[in-house]
Amino acid sequence: MDFDFIYTQYFKDVFLYLRSLSANEDVAEEIAQETFAKALKAVDQYDGSKDVRAWLFTIAKNTYYTACKRQRLFSGEEPSENMSAAQSVFVEHMIDEESAFQIHTFLHDMKEPYKEVFTLRVFGELSFEKIGRLFGKTSSWARVVFYRAKTQIKEYMEEVDHE
């Protein structure tokens, strides 16, 4: 596997993915670099069953969540300082196992197409363009449906928190 090719081909995608998780460009770049360092160390373990980009995104996501936890543990700051307000609530809930189970329970009962679009985007890591094509719609349609699904989950979790 030509790692130089992988780096040049996918660095921008990984950076943009991390930029969507973090509102801080410097954090996104630092974690992208760390992602590729981890990928280089684990390149022999890559079995080819996933798309290379999906494999890198998984490493990036896990590295980002680890950095958020580390930041919270060692600096006493909440990771939300590096994330947009809407995503910080969502990410914080996903990190907590009980909240993650509540989100999955809500997601199980969510109406279509919100359920499927959210699942394809978050767990399937598909682009909005590909999701739109699956439904015979535009990428803008997929973005709007994903945003609405995320908003429904956020509102549900806020209700749960207030109970």
Domains of the chain from N-terminus onward: 3-82 (1.10.1740), 96-162 (1.10.10.10)
Query: Per this entry, what is the length of the chain?
Result: 163
pLDDT, one tens digit for every residue, the chain (163 residues)? 577 888 888 888 888 888 888 777 888 888 999 988 888 888 877 777 777 888 888 888 888 888 887 776 544 444 444 444 455 555 555 455 666 777 778 888 889 888 888 888 887 777 888 888 888 999 889 889 988 988 888 888 888 777 6
Distance CA 137, CA 116 (A): 14
Query: For residue 90, which of 118, 124, 57, 70 has the smallest C-alpha distance?
Result: 118
* pLDDT value of residue 162: 74
Distance CA 94, CA 47 (A): 27
pTM of the model: 0.46
* pLDDT value of residue 141: 92
* pLDDT value of residue 96: 57
Distance CA 15, CA 57 (A): 10
